[in-house]
A = this chain, B = another copy of it.
Amino acid sequence: MARIKIEKNSSRKEVIVSKAASLFREKGFKAASMRDLAEAVGVEAASLYNHIKSKTELLHELCFGVANRFMQHMDEVESKKTSSIAKVEELVRFHINEMVNHYEEVYVSDREWKHLSDPYLSNFQNQRRMYRKRFAAIIETGIRNKEIKSIDAPTAVLIILHAISGIESWHRSTQKINAEELTNNMITILVGGLKNV
């Protein structure tokens, strides 16, 4: 009888969630079927329901898992006593790092959250809005301090976040430059583009 293989310190549910991430990334949430997922996991579709409640639950887990990590990091950054530009750089580095190392989950959370349903949907949207507001506030402080060019802070946030999500293309490209070089290039352009000379 087939059985879901687990690594040490991981539940069967975690295996399913992880496979779901890569499937949702590849095909999109709607287009990825539970039968696809079952096959990826090596089991029949019905068997998945011994471990999860529903397909949507998989999306919850992924989206809120990612959102929580970012929120927690934001807390940490805000509490530091560094310059605004340093904070921005740290946020950017964290985003890049997450996108490089937890590609599938972050990507899915970013692109597929639309398919959440209330109350999760509203909750997620609020978190997202809050995160961006806090990011923008840091930039605004930087502008007042003359560390950062005088630009519209929400626009800057929007540019930064979306630019980073472009790492998706990097992941799929055949001749990748290495991750460190990628990070440095992104910092140069994004943070460099903000800095007051």
Contact = CB atoms under 8 A, between A and B. Distances in A.
Interface of A: 27-28, 30-31, 111, 114-115, 149, 151-152, 154-156, 158-167, 169-170, 173, 177, 181-182, 185-186, 188-190, 192-194, 197
Stoichiometry, as copies per complex, reads: 2
Contacts of A170: 155, 158
27 contacts: A27-B114, A28-B30, A28-B115, A31-B115, A149-B189, A151-B188, A151-B189, A152-B181, A152-B185, A155-B170, A155-B182, A155-B185, A155-B186, A156-B185, A158-B166, A158-B167, A159-B166, A159-B189, A161-B166, A162-B162, A162-B165, A162-B169, A163-B163, A163-B166, A188-B193, A189-B190, A189-B193
Given A152-B182, A158-B166, A159-B166, 13 more contacts: A30-B31, A151-B188, A152-B185, A158-B167, A159-B190, A162-B162, A162-B163, A162-B166, A163-B163, A188-B193, A189-B193, A192-B193, A193-B193
A102 B185 CA distance: 31
Nearest to A192: B193
Contacts of A190: 159, 189, 193
Contacts of A194: 189, 193
Nearest to A149: B188
A115 B151 CA distance: 37
A96 to B, nearest CB: 11
A113 to B, nearest CB: 11
A57 B84 CA distance: 49
A164 B163 CA distance: 8
Contact of A28 (B28, B165, B167, B169): B28
Nearest to A152: B185
Contacts of A155: 170, 177, 182, 185-186, 189
A114 B173 CA distance: 16
